[in-house]
Structure 1
Amino acid sequence: MNAEKTEILRNNADARSQHHAMLVDDFRLVILQAKSITNLKMLRLNSVVEKVGLSRPTIWKRVAEGTFPPPVPVGERAVGWFQHEVDALLQATAISSRKHIPLNLHLFVQRLTDVGVAES
């Protein structure tokens, strides 16, 4: 088992015992699916607002808190969000809500936006 899988499992055990949010297999699968996307699409802020139903200030606040994927530069004075990251966050939030599974948004966003090869 690789180090990242071991860390996720250890974090899951700690979270369960402490009743804190965790990354469970459902959330890990969402991350793996998002990282396997090859046709990247960028969303500008207005599209993100419409897609997630949050206000512009709330999105920026959550980006600053590390609970929403950060934007990436698309020009000198423009940023955008990867659609697959926004979609993955929405999917994980829905899983968390409907299955009553706590979700550690900081850890989820960190794993989702880690640059590197998708975990297999």
Structure 2
Amino acid sequence: MSTINQSLIRLPEVLKRTGFGKAWIYRLISEGRFPAPVKIGVRAVDFVESEVDEWIQSVIETSRNNVA
């Protein structure tokens, strides 16, 4: 069992952090360009906070590298 503390966040928090809409997030997921959610119930999913944060950081780094 992993000792890493990983928090789960709901879709509204993902939308807030990325600035994207729900449809766009799910499109990115279907294209393999955004971390997939974790199923936590019959009709509920969450996202691993660290994966979302890493994705945001990679977008920032890619953007800055393309400018330079």
1:99 deviates by 1.8
Report the RMSD for the aligned CA atoms in angstroms.
1.6
CA separation in 1, counterparts of 2:6 and 2:13?
Answer: 15
More helix by share: 1
Q: Which runs of 4+ in 1 moved over 2 A?
A: none
**Runs of 5+ unmatched residues, structure 2:** none
**Aligned residue number for residue 50 of structure 2:** 84
**Aligned residue number for residue 26 of structure 2:** 60
**Aligned residue number for residue 36 of structure 2:** 70
Percent same amino acid among aligned pairs?
Answer: 34
**Runs of 5+ unmatched residues, structure 1:** 1-36, 102-120
Size of the aligned set, in residue pairs, is: 65
SS at match of 1:98: helix
TM-score if structure 2 supplies the norm length? 0.88
> Quick check: which has more Rg, 1 or 2?
1
Alignment pair present for 1:96 and 2:62: yes
